[in-house]
């Protein structure tokens, strides 16, 4: 077959193929770096950097639990990294939210694991009861993956959460410690979960907390700046620092470096100060364009701002403005 015919056939096949689902991209998803890095955190917990969003790995005698799975294209590398830490099966995946840089690896990584199942469940449906890791998430993550916005196909079923919750918290006991899933309503998205490993004393925050930019408020997926602030307040409330307000509870952000609560406090103060300024401008009747022109973030821009890329300072200011104009 000539090269030209091959190209035409290939193009036709692509056009006729069913649309492939891709999870909503985070407005500021960074490109995947080539190399993954494992950072021991404390207790049972490791932080895996470089697969998209940060991945939290808990290991122990019961198996492996992952918070988030990174970008789809990084799954093989993520699995290889997990295998350097534990030869036990991956039992649980907890999705912090629906964005592709955090749930992209769900399907491949869940398939490599096994659920702990027994009793009537196994009796009724046999080995299929345990043929993949359990994927846990807040209910709206499943809603958005199974019934996405008009025009987008649903996610492949293998990537869907298999165990969802709709309450403020969900708890399991795994690898000798309590694991708390805490839902923060309408924050980064409408399906955010933070995960608190109680004995290891580590909180995995998802994208409610980042160290490399302003908070991403995904208004299209139910996000709101007031929810982000509520989430940051919650981290400050839960974490207990050691002497001099550092160490103690360690915090794994959705993106960026490993932190403790003092780092969260700086970030929380920054977000609240900017929120207060924009709230004040709204109170004075200023339009969004006037607020942008007043540059309410200009003292934090050299650290967190961006004039290019998918999540610019302008977009952040607009998201805060829109959040505050809308009822929360």
Partner 1 sequence: MRKTAIALVLGLALNGAAWAQMDPSGEWAPRFDEDRFERIPGPEIGDYLGLPINDAARLRGDSWDAALIELPENQCRAHGSDYGWRGPSNLSIWKEVDPATQKVIAYHTHLSAYGAEQTIWMDGRPHPPDYARHTWQGFSTGEWDGDTLVITTTHLKENWIRRNGIPRSDLATARVHIMKHGNYLTVAVIVYDPVYLTEPFIRTTDFVYAPQQQMAPWPCEPVDEVDRPPGVVPNHLLGANTFLNEFPANYGIPVPATRGGAETMYPEYMLKMKTMAVLPRPPKKAAPP
Q: Which residues contact partner 1 (rule: CB under 8 A)? A: 37, 39, 47, 49, 229-230, 232-233, 236-237, 241, 243-247, 250, 256-263, 265-266, 268-269, 272-273, 276-277, 280, 294, 296, 298-303
Which residue's CB is nearer to partner 1, number 148 or number 256?
Answer: 256
Which residue's CB is nearer to partner 1, number 257 or number 325?
Answer: 257
We find the least distance from the C-beta atom of residue 184 to partner 1, in angstroms, to be: 13
Provide CB contacts within 8 A for 115, sequence distance 6+.
91, 129, 130, 131, 132, 133, 134, 162
Print the SS3 string covering the chain.
CCHHHHHHHHHHHHHHCCCCCCCCCCCCCCCCCCCCEEEEEECCEEEEECCCCCEEEEEECCEEEEECCECHHHHHHHHHHHHHHCCCCEEEEECCCCCHHHHCCHHHHHHCCCCCCCHHHHHHHHHHHHCCCEEEEEHHHHHHHHCCCCCCCCCCHHHCCCEEECCCEEEEEECCEEEEEEEECCCCCCCEEEEEECCCCEEECHHHCECCCCCCCCHHHCCCHHHHHHHHHHHHHHCCCCHHHCCCCEEECCECCCEEHHHHHHHHHHHHHHHHHHHHHHHCCCCHHHHHHCCCCCCCHHHHCCCCCCCCHHHHHHHHHHHHHCCC
Which residue's CB is nearer to partner 1, number 116 or number 273?
Answer: 273
Which residue's CB is nearer to partner 1, number 46 or number 160?
Answer: 46
Provide CB contacts within 8 A for 10, sequence distance 6+.
none
Which residue's CB is nearer to partner 1, number 44 or number 115?
Answer: 44
Dig out the tokens for 43 from the structure.
Answer: 């207790």
Which residue's CB is nearer to partner 1, number 220 or number 269?
Answer: 269
We find the least distance from the C-beta atom of residue 121 to partner 1, in angstroms, to be: 40
Which residue's CB is nearer to partner 1, number 140 or number 297?
Answer: 297
We find the least distance from the C-beta atom of residue 256 to partner 1, in angstroms, to be: 7
We find the least distance from the C-beta atom of residue 263 to partner 1, in angstroms, to be: 7
Which residue's CB is nearer to partner 1, number 40 or number 73?
Answer: 40
We find the least distance from the C-beta atom of residue 176 to partner 1, in angstroms, to be: 24
We find the least distance from the C-beta atom of residue 234 to partner 1, in angstroms, to be: 9
We find the least distance from the C-beta atom of residue 196 to partner 1, in angstroms, to be: 17
We find the least distance from the C-beta atom of residue 220 to partner 1, in angstroms, to be: 25
């Amino acid at each position: 077959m000539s090269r030209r015919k091959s190209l035409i056939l290939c193009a036709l096949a692509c056009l006729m193929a069913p649309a492939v689902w891709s999870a909503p991209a985070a407005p500021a998803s960074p490109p995947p770096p080539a190399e993954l890095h494992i950072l021991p955190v404390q207790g049972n917990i490791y932080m895996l950097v470089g697969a998209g969003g940060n991945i939290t790995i808990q290991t122990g005698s019961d198996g492996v639990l992952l918070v988030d799975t990174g970008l789809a294209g990084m799954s093989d590398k993520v699995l290889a990294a997990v295998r350097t830490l534990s030869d036990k099966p991956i039992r649980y995946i907890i999705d912090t939210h629906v964005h592709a840089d955090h749930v992209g690896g769900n399907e491949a990584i869940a398939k490599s694991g096994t659920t702990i199942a027994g009793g009537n469940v196994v009796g009724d449906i046999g080995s299929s009861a345990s043929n993949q890791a359990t994927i846990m998430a807040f209910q709206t993550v499943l809603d958005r993956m199974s019934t996405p916005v008009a025009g987008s196909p649903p996610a492949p079923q293998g990537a869907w959460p298999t165990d969802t919750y709709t309450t403020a918290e969900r708890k399991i006991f795994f690898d000798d410690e309590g694991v708390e899933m805490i839902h923060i309503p309408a924050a980064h998205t409408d399906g955010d979960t933070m995960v608190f490993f109680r004995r290891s004393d580590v909180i995995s925050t998802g994208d409610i907390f980042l160290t490399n930019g302003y908070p991403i408020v995904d208004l299209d997926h139910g996000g709101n700046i007031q929810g982000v602030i509520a989430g940051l307040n919650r981290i400050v409330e839960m974490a207990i620092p050691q002497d001099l307000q550092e160490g103690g509870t360690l915090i794994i952000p959705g993106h960026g470096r490993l932190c403790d609560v003092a780092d969260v406090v700086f970030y929380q103060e920054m977000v609240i100060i900017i929120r207060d300024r924009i709230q004040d401008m709204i109170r004075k009747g200023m339009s969004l364009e006037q607020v942008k022109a007043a540059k309410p973030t200009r003292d934090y821009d050299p650290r967190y701002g961006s004039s290019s890329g998918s999540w610019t300072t302008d977009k952040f200011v607009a998201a805060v403005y829109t959040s505050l104009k809308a009822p929360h």
